[in-house]
Amino acid sequence: MHGSYGRFAAMIATSTAVMLGLMYLNTYALDHVFWSQTRFWMALVMGATMAIVMLAFMLHMYRNRMANAAIFMGAAVVLAGSLYMVRSQATVSDVSWMKAMIPHHSIAILTSERATLRDPRVRELAGEIIEAQRREIDEMKALIEDLESGGSGSGDQPGS
């Protein structure tokens, strides 16, 4: 049985898009979901890695050596480039940083609020984290609104 390279590409692309969406499932509230360049780059890291691993496991289905080499090399380039973007945060500026931080803070709220915490000191700490994260999310939302409307400190670059 020989595999279809088009189907392989569709499988990797679909899985990468699904992984991007899944990264938002642990946010506390729907209004805490914002586009995140970091999550996008991480989805590409995972998709490229998955392409390499899956093709390696299914080489018996994909017999075109040139196509396989191109897939391995292309996936390695996407993996390296995306990993660089995740680690460097090179494209992340004011607004895009806050849009990435809101879901991150939201995860802290979800975890702190829903965990089964028995020790009163730990529960107190969780309560402080919830309060701080909610305050910071509200502050970031206000700053995003101000900066996106051309407010006084507008310092974001296109691509947020």
pLDDT for 58 equals 95
Tell me the two tokens of residue 41: 């780059």
Cβ distance 135 to 71 under 8 Å? no
Confidence grade of residue 3 (pLDDT, cut at 50, 70, 90): confident
What is residue 113's DSSP assignment? Answer: H
Residue 158 has pLDDT above 60, yes or no: no
Residue 153 has pLDDT above 80, yes or no: no
Residue 159 has pLDDT above 60, yes or no: no
- pLDDT tens figures, 86-141: 999 999 999 999 999 999 999 999 999 999 999 999 999 999 999 999 999 999 99
Residue 154 has pLDDT above 70, yes or no: no
Distances from the Cα of 69 to the Cα of 10, 62, 81, 98, 157, angstroms: 18, 11, 18, 39, 37
Residue 142 has pLDDT above 70, yes or no: yes
